[in-house]
Amino acid sequence: MIEAEKKFLKGLCKLCFTKYQIVNNAPMIGALISQVCKLKDLDVPLVEGILYVEARKRKLQYAHCFNTYHGNIIDASIYQYAIMNKNIKDVFPEIVVGDNDEGIEYSVFREIKYENQFKYKREFLEEIMIKADKYEDFQLDKIDEYEDSKKQNLFYI
């Protein structure tokens, strides 16, 4: 992955994590990332798969939607599992952008085609694309269910 692309994708994931509700919104966040990247001529498909997490000598499985880019995982909604599983929250990073995190594995089942995704207006996508660059150096804070619920819901955009 080219460094400029990685910076953009990190900024985009940080923006999604910061501004939009992540709990139970992985398909919508993944669709947003995929559609914004399409405007930037990056092919970052939304996929359905399984997230495997090693915690307390057990391997937990979660059905999950996320994005891929040249074999790298792009995941702005992984932290929803930390919010829902407080006793193992330290296992989950805020976002994943191509970084191999020990104890976390992804398995891809299938791509979710554009026709089957939630669609966003072009103006909104262009606005997000511009804002993503401003989040490049933004530090993410861990959040809880209450803080997440105060964020904007993508379904109502």
Express each pLDDT in 39-85 by its tens digit: 999 999 999 999 999 988 899 999 999 999 999 999 999 999 999 99
Banded pLDDT at 136 (limits 50, 70, 90):
confident
* pTM (predicted TM-score): 0.93
Token pair for 145: 């269910």
The predicted model gives 22-42 an average pLDDT of: 95
**Can you give the pLDDT at residue 57?**
87
Rounded Cα distance between 33 and 147, Å, is 22
pLDDT at 156 exceeding the cut of 80: no
Q: So what's the pLDDT on residue 138? A: 84
Chain Cα centroid distance, residue 53:
16
Task: Specify the amino acid at residue 147.
Answer: E
Describe the strand order of the beta sheet including 46-55 as a list of residue ranges.
96-97, 72-75, 58-69, 46-55, 104-111
In the chain, the amino acid numbered 123 is E
Q: Which of 63, 75, 124 is nearest to 100 (CA)?
A: 75
pLDDT reading at 128 higher than 80: yes
Give the DSSP letter string of 21-88.
--TT-HHHHHHHHHHHHHHTT----EEEEEEEEEETTEEEEEEEEEEEETTEEEES-TTHHHHH-GGG
- Cα gap 137→75, rounded to integer Å: 18
